[in-house]
Structure 1
Amino acid sequence: MSFIITLLAAVFVFSAVIAIHEFGHFAVAKLCGVQVNEFSIGMGPVLLKKMHHGTQYSLRALPVGGFVALEGEESPESQQAEGEERSDLEEQPLSQRSGADGSPDGGASKEEELSQPTGKPLNEAPVWQRALIMAAGACMNFLLGFVVMAIVLTAQNEPITSRVIYAVEDGALCGQTGLEAGDKVLAVNGRRCFVANDMLYELMRTEDYSASFTVLRDGKKVELPCVQFDTWQDEDGETHMSLGFTVYGIRKTPVNVIKEAWNSVLYYGRIIFTSLMDLLRGRESINDLSGPVGIVTAIGQAASYGWQDLLELLALITVNVGIFNLLPFPALDGGKVVFLLIEGVTGHAVPEKIQSGLTLAAFALLFALMIFATYNDIVRLVTGAI
């Protein structure tokens, strides 16, 4: 039963994240007057399809992912859509292709009218429109994260957690080294705190159980350069930090929910970007990378805790996908935006041969990285680390 729940939860999360991403490309392409040959939910063989205003809307057999095929875009999905369109046309009886009266110049059928392109090819659109289309997918991922967090915050019984200290425990080391009741935490270790989890994340990253705080006290900013925290050891001998303070709750009003949902998206974006920088700097090991197996395992665990935990993980994953796609890497949307910026500045497009070569090399690197991360997942799964 748990396997089925994990499978359904994984399909829901992956489908939601990728479908909303592709919808972003689709919606902005339509607004910019670019021809969209196909908008597909799912991958693989077509189960259902409908042609409307020159775009085929498809439901495909594999319920994970999706794609948008744009006219004039050199992508596998676009070439596949164009090939399927030509195949469908060749399979039609000659009478249907030639017109209602059977003559080559006869009146076009309603189906043919619906299938006629209504927009311009992508490569004929202005540079700024192409850049918007490429960036729109990631923007929709951020929007999905915001909506999901607003739902989670609205549904939870507890108030919103603030960054204002309610009380410091008697004798707590953090109180002896600077923190006071009533302090509003603005930053920890120089990093601005948007939500309460920002404080916890920065404290988790400290190595000596101390941190610098910037707080708002009696209307003035106060710098606390070395706030120290008590520690305790579990039965396995591992050392843990004790916060030693509690914070106020915030009443859930529509304004507060919207503000906290937006700040939560910023928080997720921060930890994803920080984790990436830690990986590049060597602070985190590449062996800690997780691939599809690890993500599915995490989704299954979240689903077992309840729908709210699953939605919170969905928000984290969709923000992750948005940030990852905006990285200036040739195989990603961010890389395409970089090529377009170069074209906009110089007035000349980057040669197709260079773009294709860089994209192919980037895809190979990403594929190798995914294989390595999947290997890590399997090792952790077998050894019981996850």
Structure 2
Amino acid sequence: DDRAFGNKPVWRRIIVVCAGAIMNILFGIVLMMVLLVQQPMFTSTTIAQFAEGSALQKAGIQAGDQFYSIDGYRVRTDRDLSFSLATANPQSIDISVVRKGEKLTFHDVKMNTRQNGDKQVMVLDFYVSGIERNPVTLIQKSGADTVSVVRMVWYSLVGLVTGQFGLNDMAGPIGAADAISQAASMGLKEGILPAVNNIIMMMMMITVNLGVVNLLPLPALDGGRLIFLLIELVRRRPINPKYEGWVHAAGFALLMTFMIIVTYSDVLRLFTGKGLGA
């Protein structure tokens, strides 16, 4: 059959294999736009002013400075800023800013903290300037924030490999459903629209996660099939389908095993409050 997938040129098959993940990410941009269009103004990464007793101000950072990186994590949007601060050690943070075109780095900045239950949480004692909302900035902000979410997914995956995050920080379908339920419940305390927005935010996170993870170069995922297609593109002939089938079958078995472990961790978290590796 001339129309069969396997008989199409390799470049067309590459497009088809990548299309699903790319559409997930594009859908994430649309959902992000739905959330952002409701805001009267967008948030920048430029410091406007400090709260009284600000740790950043004491460290030498000034109003008008633009965040460049937190502990080496590049900051391009306010979501990057929030994520990098949330994963940083408040007792010692390396903060880089841009001041009048010059990059400055402040080492071992100790942030102010407050007690929250049995944990010490960071106090954000500064304010950032706003960005005017218009059609151009809406599109720019939607794209930039979605890219920030993609970077967070990659960073989190690396953190899983390096041990920074554990199984208790992961969620499968059961954990995701529970998280959506909690987000909706928290939003309902303020009204219907905040609840809907929380659900849209969770949908955006999930669809972007699916897009990124599906392109990982792992057997049984689209990223694994993409690797074989790229090899075929270089070699100008495909790898024996039998061997490719074995690789994908083994990858699928490992993927299902991993899903069972994560699902068990989700169920354990529902009943005990802690998942595996907690």
Output the TM-score relative to the length of structure 2: 0.91
What is aligned with 1:216? 98
Q: Could you say what secondary structure the match of 1:155 adopts?
A: coil
* Whole-angstrom CA distance in 2 between matches of 1:231 and 1:381: 30
* Whole-angstrom CA distance in 2 between matches of 1:285 and 1:232: 25
The correspondence of residues 293-332 of structure 1 with structure 2, limited to 5 A, is: 293-304=174-185, 305=187, 306-332=195-221
Paired residue type of 1:161:
T
Structure 1 residue 208 displacement after superposition? 4.6
* Whole-angstrom CA distance in 1 between matches of 2:27 and 2:91: 35
Work out whether 1:160 is the aligned partner of 2:160: no
Instruction: Please list the CA deviations of residues 315-360 of structure 1 after superposition, one character each: whole Å capped at 9, or x if unmatched.
Output: 1111100001100011011111100111111122111111111111
Structure 1 residue 249 displacement after superposition? 1.7
What is aligned with 1:128? 11
Contact 1:288 1:376 in 2 (8 A): no
Contact 1:174 1:243 in 2 (8 A): no
* Whole-angstrom CA distance in 2 between matches of 1:291 and 1:128: 33
Instruction: Please list the CA deviations of residues 141-196 of structure 1 after superposition, one character each: whole Å capped at 9, or x if unmatched.
Output: 1110111111110023x421111111112322221112211111122222221211
* Whole-angstrom CA distance in 1 between matches of 2:203 and 2:76: 20
Structure 1 residue 209 displacement after superposition? 2.9
Instruction: Please list the CA deviations of residues 260-300 of structure 1 after superposition, one character each: whole Å capped at 9, or x if unmatched.
Output: 11111111111111111011011212343211110111122
Output the TM-score relative to the length of structure 1: 0.66
Work out whether 1:175 is the aligned partner of 2:57: yes
Paired residue type of 2:165:
E
What is aligned with 2:192? none
Further displaced range: 247-256 or 295-304: 295-304
Q: Could you say what secondary structure the match of 2:232 adopts?
A: helix
* Whole-angstrom CA distance in 2 between matches of 1:272 and 1:132: 23
What is aligned with 1:355? 244
Larger radius of gyration: 1
* Whole-angstrom CA distance in 2 between matches of 1:279 and 1:358: 23
Q: Could you say what secondary structure the match of 1:328 adopts?
A: coil
What is aligned with 1:365? 254
Unmatched segments (≥5 aa) in structure 2: 188-194
Aligned sequence identity (%): 36
Q: Could you say what secondary structure the match of 2:37 adopts?
A: helix
* Whole-angstrom CA distance in 1 between matches of 2:50 and 2:182: 34
Paired residue type of 1:153:
L
Q: Could you say what secondary structure the match of 2:43 adopts?
A: strand
**What number of residue pairs does the alignment pair up?**
267
The correspondence of residues 46-85 of structure 1 with structure 2, limited to 5 A, is: none
Aligned CA RMSD, in angstroms, stands at: 1.7
What is aligned with 2:79? 197
Unmatched segments (≥5 aa) in structure 1: 1-71, 73-118
Contact 1:138 1:326 in 2 (8 A): yes
